[in-house]
């Protein structure tokens, strides 16, 4: 009798280990965050959207241009987009030389919502058909302004065929890709609910 009890113990322990894992619970993807607690870089839609906000916070024209989707397509829309990028970059350089920052400028990231797809299929289909883009989403980002007030911005983000995410800061110049963007409901899911947040490894 004692022999049977001893033999069964390992099997009971093993069965308990399997019981702890619930196959119905899906593991959330890991999101690496920067020192400020928010993602960065072109690996994710949220990271690109946060980098756009950082570019304005730091008055960094180089980061702004690096984060934005390079001009694509042709015609008047392309010209308008190129002019927009140039104007904003020049404005950042002027702002950077001011002794006192503008009260309406962003001071720090306050809240980030998980990226979402547009309800309409048209924009993503048009982006792939005409420009080879692999995905189009949007990210709602809330910042604290220099004045102390909060401001929420909706950022359109595009995934290229190389797998990188870029922001499109002037969606009006790409009407086919941004149809319905501002008609979407407010985001409610914080990025920490959609991802397992992990700090970046120290260099």
Q: Is residue 49 part of a domain?
A: yes
Q: Does residue 96 belong to any structural domain of this protein?
A: yes
Does the residue 32 lie in any domain?
A: yes
Number of domains in the chain: 1
Task: Tell me what pLDDT residue 15 has.
Answer: 38
Q: Give residue 96's domain range.
A: 27-199
Please state, for a pLDDT cut of 70, what percent of the chain lies above it.
87
Alpha-carbon Rg for the chain, nearest whole angstrom, is 23
In a domain, 4, yes or no: no
Q: Phi and psi of 15, rounded to 5°?
A: -65, -35
pLDDT of residue 12: 37
What's residue 136's pLDDT? Answer: 98
Tens of pLDDT along the chain (203 residues) come to 443 343 333 433 433 443 444 555 578 999 999 999 999 999 999 999 999 999 999 999 999 999 999 999 999 999 999 999 999 999 999 999 999 999 999 999 999 999 999 999 999 999 999 999 999 999 999 999 999 999 999 999 999 999 999 999 999 999 999 999 999 999 999 999 999 999 977 66
Predicted pLDDT at 1: 42
Provide the pLDDT for residue 17.
Answer: 42
Q: Token pair of 138, please?
A: 């949007």
pLDDT at residue 191, rounded to an integer = 98
Give domain status of residue 122, yes or no.
Answer: yes
Q: What is the CATH number of the domain that holds 46?
A: 3.10.450.50
In a domain, 185, yes or no: yes
């Amino acid at each position: 009798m004692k022999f049977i009890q001893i033999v069964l113990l390992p099997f009971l322990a093993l069965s308990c280990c399997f019981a702890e894992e619930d196959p119905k619970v899906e593991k959330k993807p890991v999101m690496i965050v920067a020192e400020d607690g928010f993602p960065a870089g072109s690996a994710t839609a949220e990271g690109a959207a946060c980098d756009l906000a950082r570019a304005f916070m730091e008055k960094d024209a180089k980061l702004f241009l690096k984060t934005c989707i390079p001009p694509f397509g042709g015609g008047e829309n392309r010209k308008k987009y190129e002019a927009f990028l140039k104007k904003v970059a020049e404005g950042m350089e002027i702002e950077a030389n001011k002794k006192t920052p503008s009260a309406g400028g962003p001071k720090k990231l306050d809240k980030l919502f998980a990226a979402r797809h547009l309800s309409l299929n048209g924009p993503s289909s048009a982006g792939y058909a005409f420009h080879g883009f692999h995905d189009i989403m949007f990210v709602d980002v809330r910042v604290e302004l220099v004045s102390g007030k909060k401001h929420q911005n909706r950022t359109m983000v595009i995934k290229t065929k190389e797998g990188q995410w870029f922001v499109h800061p002037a969606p009006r110049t790409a009407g086919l890709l941004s149809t319905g963007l501002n008609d979407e409901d407010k985001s409610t899911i914080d990025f920490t609910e959609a991802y397992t947040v992990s700090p970046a490894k120290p260099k």
